[in-house]
Structure 1
Amino acid sequence: MSSGCPIELAERLARVSRRPAIELAALAALLACGLVALRPVETFAQDAGPGSLELVDPNVFRACGDPRNLPFSNDKGEGFENKLAELFAAKLGKKLSYTYFPQATGFVRMTLGSYRCDIIMGFPQGDDQAQVTVPYYRTTYALVVKRGSGLEDVATIDDPRLKDKRIGIVAKTPPSTAMALNGLLAKAKSYPLFIDTRADSSAQAMIEDLARGEIDCGILWGPMAGYYASHADPPLVVVPLTRETAGPPMTFRIGMAVRPADQEWKRTLNQLILDNQAEINKLLISYNIPILDEANVPITGETLSKRP
């Protein structure tokens, strides 16, 4: 499992969120490593279709992932990123292999950067550690509350109803800045960002505390919020924080990461995303991931069924 947001992903989101708004807008318009030395990728290349000159083994879809980071991935192949890798490998007629490494600092360098794999299945736009494909989903941080709490329609962190509430927050994530701006940290319960995902999960701990009444609500990265809230008993309510006007951005576009030089591989993946967006949306929704269109309107199974 992971914290409210995988360590390296949270660092990337925080870094991106601190960039000037005009730079973020430009990045949005364009849309995370090996302990042994490896030979240059060209040494391994074979003539096996688009992107083959950039891939260590062009017959294998070599993905990077965290071994304990649901709902994204795990070493049992149960995450939505695992399922998406299976889909893309099948579409390309390739075998699938995974290189697993905890999503802590250095994840990109120890996986993609060391040619142990060729793609990171989830990576935010606006980070320059790798080259990013077009986005395949857009999501946001979200408030998680109990049904009947009177907080089900809270849409912003500055809502007066949160003033006296005990709010769970993962330290050093973008919402913690917004909470500080609104004077909400005094009664907050902070959960660590830097944890060993093999043993701990700040997201799961937060959801358990909410169920026991030790906190009144929690704020988590959208995919974590949706997944863990749906597995609570009874299920919890997830409110995407899409109306924030102060503090760092809460909403991010997520694509896939490849090495900076892998231009043809990136083009191949871009086309796969565009051709299979409807199936990707259905997969994300099946994991209760809160996904948004460009107008911040939630994309649900019901809205998908109404689309041509």
Structure 2
Amino acid sequence: MMRGVLLAAALAAQPAAAQVADLVSDAAFRVCADPALVPMSSRDGSGFENRIAEHLASALGKPLEYTWFPMATGFVRNTLFAGKCDVVIGYAQGDELVLNTNHYYTSTHVLVVRADGPLAGIERLADPALKGHRIGVVAGSPPASHLARNGLMAKARPYSLMVDRRVEDPAGDMLAAVESGEIDAAVLWGPVGGPLVKAHPALKAIPLVKEEGAPKLFYRTTMGVRQGEDVWKRELNSLIRREQGALDAILRDAGVPLLDDYGRGLKEAG
């Protein structure tokens, strides 16, 4: 009798497990993405995450399909969890909302200044040369803590993080303010600031690899899949390992500052 109950329970559990696995499409590489998260992703395909998605789809021999939704509240619920797509190309390591793949790059925040200005040689937010200067920073971000500790918040200009980038562009606004002289510098996440600065020859992005103290300014980026999809995660891990050189090349070409796995310095080109 007990054996029959256990067998029935096992059989009953099988469809549920299959349903999780079956959400991953065999017919296409289905990516969840923000249509206006420049320079990472864009509906026109110009983002570096778009290029990564195209490369991985080609490596898998599958067509690429997108589900677009703003990277704000409800993004994962309305895309990945809804079964409309199977992977988020860029996701912070350690976020428990999704199942993380192995990280495929490590980056850091950057200080953006005028290339010909007096701050062009700054390498740390603790540098006394920043005293009295107007610095743009994303409110509540790790660099904001460093600015506060170094007495730089009095003249700091805060910018919002969680916005619909179809209608707001905090990073673009920060760079424009540095370029015009409204502020003297800006601190941005490197994968945002580095690529954007490439379109602004008058500006310079300085990777903050020498910053000391908490919180850390470097972070690892993974790909995100649904919890329980361990087979899919392992397939992506193998894909990342095989294609790491190509992924690095895409990121470097975009202007993303790449660090070693420990965030101690810039990653050497392979």
- TM beyond 0.5: yes
Question: Aligned to 2:237, what secondary structure does the other structure show?
Answer: helix
Structure 2: distance between partners of 1:289 and 1:267 = 26
Q: CA deviation at 1:245?
A: 2.1
The 3 A distance-change label for structure 1 pair 248 and 150 is same
1:166-201, CA deviations, whole angstroms, 9 ceiling, x for partnerless residues?
101111111111111211111111112233311110
Q: CA deviation at 1:41?
A: 8.3
Aligned twin of 1:210: 178
Aligned twin of 2:28: 60
Aligned twin of 1:289: 256
Q: 1:86 aligns with which of 54, 60, 66?
A: 54
Structure 1: distance between partners of 2:77 and 2:149 = 34
Q: Does structure 2 retain, via aligned residues, the 8 Å contact 1:137–1:292?
A: yes
Question: Aligned to 1:113, what secondary structure does the other structure show?
Answer: coil
What residue identity is the alignment partner of 1:156?
Answer: R
Aligned twin of 1:267: 234
1:240-265, CA deviations, whole angstroms, 9 ceiling, x for partnerless residues?
11222223111001010011111111
Aligned twin of 1:166: 134
Aligned twin of 2:42: 74
Aligned twin of 2:155: 187
Aligned twin of 2:99: 131
Q: CA deviation at 1:133?
A: 0.7
Structure 2: distance between partners of 1:226 and 1:251 = 14
The question of 1:250 aligning with 2:223 is answered no
The question of 1:220 aligning with 2:188 is answered yes
What residue identity is the alignment partner of 2:253?
Answer: S
Structure 1: distance between partners of 2:59 and 2:148 = 46
Q: 2:18 aligns with which of 24, 30, 42?
A: 42
Q: CA deviation at 1:279?
A: 0.6
Structure 1: distance between partners of 2:173 and 2:17 = 42
Aligned twin of 1:157: 125
Structure 2: distance between partners of 1:235 and 1:281 = 26
Q: Rg: which structure is higher?
A: 2
1:69-105, CA deviations, whole angstroms, 9 ceiling, x for partnerless residues?
1111111111111111111111111121100100112
Q: Does structure 2 retain, via aligned residues, the 8 Å contact 1:54–1:265?
A: no
Normalising by structure 2, report the TM-score. 0.89
Structure 2: distance between partners of 1:54 and 1:274 = 24
Structure 2: distance between partners of 1:150 and 1:54 = 57
Aligned twin of 1:98: 66
The 3 A distance-change label for structure 1 pair 55 and 194 is closer
Q: 2:81 aligns with which of 106, 113, 119?
A: 113
The 3 A distance-change label for structure 1 pair 172 and 148 is same
Aligned twin of 2:3: none
Identity, in percent, stands at 40
Structure 2: distance between partners of 1:264 and 1:202 = 38
Structure 2: distance between partners of 1:107 and 1:120 = 10
Q: Does structure 2 retain, via aligned residues, the 8 Å contact 1:42–1:56?
A: no
Q: CA deviation at 1:117?
A: 0.8
Q: Does structure 1 retain, via aligned residues, the 8 Å contact 2:209–2:265?
A: no
Aligned twin of 1:176: 144
Question: Aligned to 1:144, what secondary structure does the other structure show?
Answer: strand
Q: CA deviation at 1:106?
A: 2.0
Question: Aligned to 2:179, what secondary structure does the other structure show?
Answer: helix
| Structure 1 unmatched runs, 5+ | 1-38, 46-52
* Large movers: runs of 4+ above 4 Å: none
Q: CA deviation at 1:225?
A: 0.8
Aligned twin of 1:200: 168
Normalising by structure 1, report the TM-score. 0.79
Structure 1: distance between partners of 2:56 and 2:99 = 18
